[in-house]
A and B are shown apart, each in its own frame.
Chain A
Amino acid sequence: SAVISQKPSRDICQRGTSLTIQCQVDSQVTMMFWYRQQPGQSLTLIATANQGSEATYESGFVIDKFPISRPNLTFSTLTVSNMSPEDSSIYLCSVVLAGGFGELFFGEGSRLTVL
């Protein structure tokens, strides 16, 4: 396993503002992903964070709204831009570690509330 640190763990944000979430991993990482979990719902993949290049977004998610950076193998950021109450959710960083069989490990999540 690995230690996957996310911050902030929670925040209350005003409509129209943007917030950047950071994810730092202490082990060798093969893949990094960002998921969203809306209240009472399951996990939805936002995008794959690619090292040194643009992220790969899933249908329904766009770079202007959710810009993602991954400057090195073990660090990534997700920005939620121009927030609205519909963006209130838990955002989870997840990784596939080198040497495993592809299971995902998750950070503790960042719980955002947009007023």
Chain B
Amino acid sequence: GQNIDQPTEMTATEGAIVQINCTYQTSGFNGLFWYQQHAGEAPTFLSYNVLDGLEEKGRFSSFLSRSKGYSYLLLKELQMKDSASYLCAVRDPFYDYKLSFGAGTTVTVRA
């Protein structure tokens, strides 16, 4: 199975930067996804990494190191609307489209 760990909660100030770490232990690897979920809403896709390195998409960036079983999501220039839960998910290497999710990190942005 998949073991995916991420911090439970993080708090940051508007305009600041926050880095959400995710570590995974799996029998294989076929891609890592980050999702954002606002309270009471469905998760929305943020980023995808399958090769090592940094993927940048506007204020959000995601990094992957396969050898370390490690990823992070970097949120820059934080805005109040970024307050949400951020979910790390790993794709099953033996079943391409099935994702296993971490417990999620709740980010609270304060003025």
Contact = CB atoms under 8 A, between A and B. Distances in A.
Interface of A, secondary structure class, is: strand
Contact of B45 (A42, A48, A103): A103
Interface in B71-111: 87, 89, 91, 96-104
Contacts of A106: 42-44
Contacts of B102: 42
Contacts, number: 47
A42 B87 contact: yes
Q: How large is the interface on B (under 10, 10 to 19, 20 to 34, 35 or more residues)?
A: 20 to 34
Most buried by B among A31, A41, A43, A92: A43
Interface centre among B42, B87, B100 (most CB of A within 10 A): B42
B97 A102 contact: yes
Contact of B33 (A92, A103, A107): A103
A87 interface: no
Interface of B: 31, 33, 35, 41-45, 48, 87, 89, 91, 96-104
26 contacts: A30-B97, A33-B98, A41-B103, A42-B103, A42-B104, A43-B87, A44-B101, A45-B100, A48-B98, A92-B42, A92-B43, A96-B97, A101-B31, A102-B31, A102-B48, A102-B91, A102-B97, A103-B33, A103-B45, A104-B35, A104-B45, A104-B99, A106-B42, A106-B44, A107-B42, A108-B42
Interface of A: 30-31, 33, 41-45, 48, 92, 96, 101-109
